[in-house]
Amino acid sequence: MDRQVGTATLTRWRIGLAARIRAYFLAGVLVTAPIGITIYLAWLVIDYVDDIVGALLPARYNPETYLPFSIPGLGLVIAFALVTLIGAFAAGYVGALLLRLSEAIFARTPFLRGVYGAIKQLMETMLAQKSNAFREVVLVEFPRPEMWSIGFVTGARLEAVQHTPSGELVGVFVPTTPMPTSGYLVYVPDRQIVRLDMSVEDGLKVVLSGGIVVPPERHPAAELSVEPADRQADRPSA
């Protein structure tokens, strides 16, 4: 009898120990994985920039030529300083004159004109913050009816697509998972859009995680309708 009690106690102790070890391991993964992945991605960027700058920098001006070891991040520092100097030069009279001259050359080159204009407008929107790139998080029926996708209403209004039988169209960027830098730009009637009570940052987290990371509810679920306004209007009253 005593042996059975001892065996049962030992079994419970082993099960409890295994559960604690598993819990500690999962807690360690939750702590170290985000930090480790962030450091790894940052290291990839630094190493990539170092390789490019190191290949362009003459050997006699490269400090690593005279040192027995490499300096991580040296290329990133040089690139940052170079871009800052170019910005300071472009703010002056001579720099502004050269900038207008280069823009005039690009504007007269058939292929480069469209590429340069699109990239410049995108960078001005994202960095100079002339307008909000994304205004709100919405649901749209994409790529087919009754299949809902998370999208982001773009800040720009395109007048060329407004004269349609569907009424006012809203530009919605539907990103792909887990790379939101690619996606689809669709123009949807405003009445067919379901607006979510969610910040753009939380919407990007949902897309990046493939739906695993869910932001906390701001309002009860009953307050959020999952039907566009035009369908709600067509529904017969009770």
Q: Helix (H) and strand (E) counts for the chain?
A: 6, 5
Closest-CA residue to 230 (of 186, 194, 181): 194
Integer angstrom CA distances of residue 217 from 105, 148, 205: 52, 19, 14
Q: How far apart are CA 162 and CA 94, in angstroms?
A: 42
Residue 68 covered by a domain? no
Residue 145 covered by a domain? yes
Integer angstrom CA distances of residue 182 from 46, 74, 185: 23, 31, 10
Q: Along the chain (238 residues), what's the average pLDDT of each consecutive run of 10 residues?
A: 65 82 87 87 88 84 80 86 88 86 86 80 62 79 90 78 78 85 87 89 86 71 50 49
Residue 227 covered by a domain? yes
**What pLDDT score does 212 carry?**
82
Q: Locate tokens 């209007």: which residue? A: 233
Residue 24 covered by a domain? no
Residue 100 covered by a domain? no
Structural domain range at position 223: 134-234
Structural domains in the chain (count): 1
Does residue 54 contact residue 62 with C-beta atoms inside 8 Å?
yes
**What pLDDT score does 220 carry?**
46
Residue 109 covered by a domain? no
Q: How far apart are CA 114 and CA 107, in angstroms?
A: 8
